[in-house]
Chains A and B, each alone.
Chain A
Amino acid sequence: MKRRTLLASAAMGLALAAAPAFAQDKPKIAFVYVGPVNDGGWSQHHHEAAVKMKEHFGDAIEMVEQESVPEGADAERVLTQMALSGADLIFTTSFGYMDPTINVAAKFPDVKFEHATGYKTAENVSAYSARFYEGRAITGYLAGAMTKSNKIGYIGSFPIPEVIRGINSSFLHAKKANPDVEMSVVWLSTWFDPAKEADATQALLDQGVDVVLAHTDSTAPLSVLEKAGGFGFGQAGDMYDYAPQPRLSSIIDEWAPYYIDRVQAIIDGTWTSQNVWQGIGDGMVGIGEITGPVPEDVKSTVLKMKDDIAAGTYHPFTGPINKQDGSAWLADGEVAEDGVLAGMDFYVEGLTAEIPN
């Protein structure tokens, strides 16, 4: 598990030995991942973006990474350790690192932090997130169009705004493609547990679901769907290995440009705390090639939707939309505010399940 850390430390040691005079000046950039860096999904794509960033800057910076860090107390320990060992900028790449990041940042005012997918910021803590719900609109529409049983499933990790936005966006657009569609949601209380993800996929299939949208980190759901003959989507990565069946398309995380940008700001001394939320238009969310037996008209509809979202002429949460209890949320033509989306804790009308506490 700690292999990469070992390699990184070894490389660091060599660098220190070779150029002791410069070692102090080089910005040290650290990354913390919630899963292993080859999970095939979320953590892998943060890691690959980090590697791209390192290639971009070459010897001008040092980079350290730590993978499979549990969210919670362990994260705080790891972050403290990184800050003590001289990191200048620490990227904490999972929602659950939010409070640990804020806590540790308060103790190390000179160290900068970048927290992914959260909403809390501080003088030295930035928040960055991608508008994945824009991608979920595309995959949701495809799911609605491709289901034969009119039942689609969604595998959620934790009931946090990020995932609830994904569920709502997927469901709204599945409904656009197919007004009769129903969606089952299964919560796993984990980001990464291939066996549980596979079991959940099987449970959904047993209920008659034939298209599954996953919001967890491994490719296990696609493996099960491949065997059972259902359809699914790449999540975090393209997962093109699973095309044309079961993979229909994918939502791809493109973190590298942002990482390069922020590290450059550290080098230039221009880093300031910010809260950014970028989508398809900014290039932080990519949509993978559409594969499989998707009809031409469906394909052109979603590609048009993608272009409209990128251009800013279509917002996936455009009224009229009611909340689950039937009360009005957005009036006709009204677009959701970022503030509401950032803290989204309700389902839209038509979803039957309840959000667990």
Chain B
Amino acid sequence: MDPVLLVASIMVSATPILLAAIGEMVVEKAGVLNLGVEGMMITGAVVGFAAAVSTGSPVIGFAAAALASAVLSLSFGFLTQVLLSNQVATGLGLTLVGLGLSALVGASFEGVRAPGLGKLWIPGLAEIPVIGPMVFRHDFMVYVSLALVAGVWAFLKYTRAGLILRAVGEDHESAHALGYKVVRVRLAAIFFGGACAGLGGAYVSLVRVPQWTEGMTAGAGWIALAIVVFASWRPLGVLIGAYLFGGVTVLQLNLQAAGAKVPVELLSMSPYVITILVLVVISARGVHGAPGSLGRSFHAST
């Protein structure tokens, strides 16, 4: 087994869930639990595919996917933030809507070819032996996803806006008392989360597979949700989680293809076992990690 090819395909396989998970992490940091990731991903997959095929440009496809999923996520935002509906139920509804809508929109795109997305060799770095072909010869979305993780980390840690977002997520009453617009901050976070999920979905239909098939995200959105918990709401944790989840999938397929005698079932379940262990460890330490107001509706009484 060639470790260079292995790492390269792990990066491709992890990118969709990384994009979706980093978006969802921001949403949850703002105190909103959006279980509609799967629905937004599949919407991004179909819209991105349709736009890329129609225009011949994968870049436009990704932009359209991000926009479509973000707009869809705003319907969730409107229902939960303005009309104060239950976030869990509305999120599940969003997933069902996304799956149905995408099947409807995508019907005419079955069997159509997507325009290819060229590899972007990072000048200089791509020539490094071993590391170059592993890390620096991917399509631009892989770098976008990594940049997003770094961007989110810096935003939450160093900027005033990031601090406000975290404050809203930790204690919306206090944030409101301090004069921050809780609902507006949350809507912005939901919009961002939707856009990221859309990018992740479009990456599946434009790069990883590349074709449109109904139901093609096949649960990636739920894995993204699990990764956020696994990461205990930290950007670096999201990165590690996504590469771990994506990596185990690809690793077990490669081990099988290479004829290695490994217990495939054990390997497949290992990320989930690790997630549970992480949760146990966090609870035992008493540091919860979850934003204080996660999943709670906010209604300004005054």
Contacts and interface: CB of A to CB of B under 8 A. Distances in A.
A151 B266 CA distance: 27
Nearest to B211: A223
B265 A356 contact: yes
B257 A203 contact: yes
Interface in A163-205: 184-190, 192-196, 198-200, 202-204
B210 A353 contact: no
Nearest to A6: B100
B100 A209 contact: no
Contact of B209 (A195, A206, A209): A195
B214 A219 contact: no
Nearest to B217: A195
A40 B111 contact: yes
A238 to B, nearest CB: 11
A195 B259 contact: no
Contact of B9 (A189, A190, A192, A203): A203
B214 A39 contact: yes
B209 A35 contact: no
B34 interface: no
Contacts of B113: 226
B128 interface: no
Contact of A184 (B96, B250, B256): B256
A1 B256 contact: no
A263 interface: no
Interface residues of B, number: 43
Contact of A195 (B5, B6, B107, B218): B218
Interface string A34-54: 011011100000000000000
Given A198-B209, A218-B213, A186 B256 contact: yes
A58 to B, nearest CB: 25
Given A184-B258, A219-B111, A220-B209, A206 B2 contact: yes
A248 interface: no
A198 B218 CA distance: 13
Contacts of B219: 193
A241 interface: yes
Interface string B110-121: 110100100000
7 contacts: A36-B214, A186-B253, A187-B264, A194-B216, A204-B257, A223-B210, A353-B261
Interface in A306-356: 352-354, 356
Contacts of B100: 1-3
B299 interface: no
A68 B253 CA distance: 25
A224 interface: yes
A209 B254 CA distance: 12
